[in-house]
Amino acid sequence: MGLGVMGWPIAANLASAGKLSYVANRTQSKAREFATTFKVEALEMRELAAESDVVITMLSDDSAVRDFVRSVLAYLKGKILVDMSTISPSLSIQLAEEVRGLEELCTMLLS
């Protein structure tokens, strides 16, 4: 999730290694462009969370990460969420506590 300046090259490396099946981006045209280029499937954010075993985020700021995580929590049971965004330590702690508060809904690895 997130195909910006850092997300695109990271996703490209994963796709080239055959380790990426789906991508999502707030701007759907960017996700479709990536999907066409790297032969993966472009999904909506919730679909990506539902279909993936591991969800990696590379988003722009605290607000984007908070909004994404809260919008997909119901789809993350038993999955791994890796946030590689540049966000505040306090948000990382807050989101980890929210996830833990949902009876181990998912495992969250925060940078």
Q: What pLDDT, on a 0 to 100 scale, did the predictor assign at position 102?
A: 57
For the chain, the domain total comes to: 1
* Chain position carrying tokens 């989101």: 95
Q: What pLDDT, on a 0 to 100 scale, did the predictor assign at position 9?
A: 96
Supply the CATH number for residue 24's domain.
3.40.50.720
Question: Does some domain include residue 30?
Answer: yes
Residue range 60-83, pLDDT digits in tens: 899 999 999 888 888 877 788 888
**Mean pLDDT (10-residue bins), the chain, 111 residues:** 92 96 94 96 93 92 91 83 89 81 52 43
Q: What pLDDT, on a 0 to 100 scale, did the predictor assign at position 6?
A: 92
Question: Does some domain include residue 2?
Answer: no
Question: Does some domain include residue 29?
Answer: yes
Cα 90 to Cα 12, 66, 95, 96, 106, distances in angstroms? 30, 12, 9, 10, 19
Are 76 and 105 within 8 A, CB to CB?
A: yes
Whole domain around residue 57: which residue ranges? Answer: 7-110
